[in-house]
Amino acid sequence: MTDRILSPYSFKAQELQLISDRFVTHTDWSKSCFDGIKQAVKNDLRPKQGNLCCYCKWELGFDIKEVDIEHIVPKSEYSEYTFHPNNLSLSCPGCNTNKGTKPVLSVPITAYPTDGINVSIVHAHFDDYSQHIERHADAIYEGLSPKGRRTIKLCKLDRLKDVLKKMKDAKSKDTQIAQLVAELVQTKDTQRSDEIMLELSQLTEQFL
């Protein structure tokens, strides 16, 4: 497991010029003119993070809304660090949403931190994850430090126990569905066909 990002994204000259020309405040992050930069950041950080969320360490997806660019220090609080390389990491949407705009600095800053001392959560660039959080069975998180415990609380990492259970339940149901479909194709018994259709309906409703 990748503990931290060893080198941040390095902006190209033309990207820096675009940011200088078109960026005023944090709400500009959503402008389409920055889409290319965002994709470049994702492409660069994926391998550096082992394609894992910086907070929960679950694998990041590749489809729409399966990976977010996380602003470690909230951009709504410090818009001047919206494009700061050390403020950018990749997270899953669940962790990003739960963390939201909650404050992560112990004291206000006038320059971006050069280490994680003033940051109350695990900083993807400055902190070794395994020194602060230990994962058990992929979904149970143990805080080894105040920073680790704060990260678990802010990102609601305990939610992943339920997610893992649902994934296992879904896999089990998927196996049952496949077996029932195979039986439905083969059976010539009308009554049994109706029973199978009812079972499939119940399983798929639960699955949804």
Convert the pLDDT of each residue in 101-151 to its tens digit: 999 999 999 999 999 999 999 999 999 999 999 988 777 888 999 999 999
Give the residue extent of every domain in the chain.
13-157, 162-207
Nearest C-alpha neighbor of 168 from the set 201, 137, 144: 137
The answer on pLDDT for 56 being more than 60 is yes
Tell me the per-residue pLDDT of 59-118, one tens digit each, with 9 for 90 and over: 999 887 899 999 999 999 999 999 999 999 999 999 999 999 999 999 999 999 999 999
Give the contacts of 133 (CB within 8 A, at least 6 positions apart): 122, 141, 142, 143, 144, 148, 151, 152
Cα first-last separation, the chain: 32
DSSP H helical segments within the chain, as ranges? 13-22, 35-48, 93-99, 129-132, 146-154, 159-186, 190-207
Per-residue burial over 63-95, b = 16 or more CB atoms within 10 Å of its CB, e = otherwise: eeeebbbbbbbbbebbbebbbbbbbbbbbbebb
